[in-house]
Structure 1
Amino acid sequence: MKTVQKSEVNRYQKHELRFASKLMSVIAVGALGAMAFSAVQAQSTSSSIMGKAPTDGTVTVHSETGLTRHGTPNGKGRYNLSSLPPGTYLVSLEKDGKTLASLQGVPLYAGKAFEVDFACDNDQCSAAPGH
């Protein structure tokens, strides 16, 4: 009779061990999934404004919340103002403290970039959404 009871105890212990092992696997997979989801969410909370501008100018962005950032075009006339929070922006081209052109109401969404191109002919500059 002792061997029957011992056999039943061993089966019960094996069953509990398998259940505990499966439960730990489910918890581990769930935790990894939650960390991956958090990492993806963290990467998509900002955006950028980029485009073309004369190399001798400065591009300035002003948000509706008061944030201001400045950037200068590289040697090829490209600029990129990154890590901007979502919102609505005024994007301006400035030179020697004077605003030459601007585009108001530029919408930024999380994880999406917006292009604003500036063009100058003689003393006349204009701003337009890029392609």
Structure 2
Amino acid sequence: MKTNKNSQAVGHAHQHSRYALKLLAAIAVSAFGATALNAAYAQETSSSIGGKAPAESTVTIHSDNGLTRHVSADSKGRYRFPALIPGTYLVSLEKDGQTVAQVQGVPLFASRASKVDFACDNDQCTGALAR
């Protein structure tokens, strides 16, 4: 009889350990799913500003929340600021360290890019928000 109670106790302990293992697996899967969901959500809330500017000029953005970034237009005159948070931006074109054109009030919404193009003709530069 002692052997029977002992084997029952071992059987219950084995069931409890299987239950604990399943519970830990469920918690791990839930935590991973929540992390993946947050990462996907974060990607959906960012956006970008890009456009055209004179080749190898500098474009600068200033956001209403204090962010400032600079980027150079490539040899084809393209530039891009990725992974920006929604807000309102000032986009400036700079040549030789001087601001030569700017576009104020560029709205940036979650998951939507804004396009600002700059053009220079006879040392007169203009910028426009493309719609």
Answer yes or no: same fold by TM over 0.5: yes
Q: Distance in 1 between matches of 2:67 and 2:11?
A: 67
- Encode CA deviations 1:69-89: one digit per residue, 9 max, x unaligned: 332211101112345443211
Question: C-alpha distance in 2, partners of 1:39/1:122?
Answer: 47
1:18-57 alignment runs, 5 A limit: 18-41=18-41, 46-55=46-55, 57=57
Q: How does 1:1-131 map to 2 (within 5 A)?
A: 1-41=1-41, 46-55=46-55, 57-110=57-110, 112-130=112-130
Q: Secondary structure at the match of 1:23?
A: helix
In the superposition, the TM-score normalised over structure 2's length comes to 0.72
Identity %: 56
Check conservation: 2:58, 2:94, Cα contact below 8 A: yes
d(CA) in 2 for partners of 1:89 and 1:47? 12
Q: Aligned with 1:88: secondary structure? A: strand
Deviation at 1:105? 0.9
Q: Contact (CA 8 Å) 2:51, 2:115: kept in 1 or not?
A: yes
- Count of residue pairs brought into register by the alignment: 131
Gapped regions of structure 2 (runs ≥ 5): none
Q: Is the 2:85–2:110 Cα contact (8 Å) retained in structure 1?
A: yes
Contact 2:56–2:74 under 8 Å retained in 1: no
Question: Cα offset for 1:13?
Answer: 2.3
For residues 5 and 14 of structure 2, the distance between their equivalents in structure 1, rounded to whole angstroms, comes to: 14
The alignment yields a C-alpha RMSD, in angstroms, of 2.9
Q: Is the 8 A contact 2:56 2:75 kept in 1?
A: no
1:15 and 1:97, CA in 2 relative to 1: closer, same or farther beyond 3 A?
Answer: closer
Give, in angstroms, the shift of residue 118 of structure 1: 1.4
TM-score (norm 1): 0.72
